Structure 1
Amino acid sequence: DRKQAEAALAHSRRQFEKIAGTTPDLVYVFDLIEERNIYVNEGIQRVLGYSQAQIAALGSSLIGSLIHPDDIPGAIAGNQRFRNLDDREVYDHELRMRHASGEYRWLRCRD
């Protein structure tokens, strides 16, 4: 049973990564408890100029490292709001994130 469950989980993850890898959008999975990104597709390179490995290396410092200082309070409040949403609800918001070049770019997020 356990091996079947692990195989099914691995299959689901591969399917998700295949779908996320083909979209032109930036797709990410952010762990609200650990406050770190646990998945980001290749869109991160195109949108913000970082590799997937660079984003992973930021760990829990992602918010403080990339989000514009003026947008951090809203991002933290948004994460709290997101925790209270029903599964099918979507939280739309905008914020500025620092591109690898140092400039900030506005992003529209649908979480």
Structure 2
Amino acid sequence: VSLEKGKQEIVNSTKIHAETIFETLSKNGKKVYVLNVPVTYPPFPINGSMISGYPCPYDDHKIAYPEELLKELKVTLGKYRANIRIPMERGKEEACFDDLKDLFLT
């Protein structure tokens, strides 16, 4: 969220201005596997693979690096979801919380 009055902005990986731990490990020859870590969308190149976490688009094939990884995951698991379906809005708190539980506990 932006600090400017009246302005809201979704934060994603393009707003990260420092080297991430994933990039540091990659530069040092380590294999890195990242799964559902918040604010990793869009995923960025690392020495390994990454599936972005919240917030990210619902069914975007570009939530994974390399992109083919998501197809493999869906073949193996049958489904994969990295984001909530119900936005957090006044009056929808319980439904959103249930959706979060479904996302992370199933």
TM-score (norm 1): 0.29
Q: Which has the higher strand share?
A: 1
Q: Which has the higher helix share?
A: 1
TM-score (norm 2): 0.29
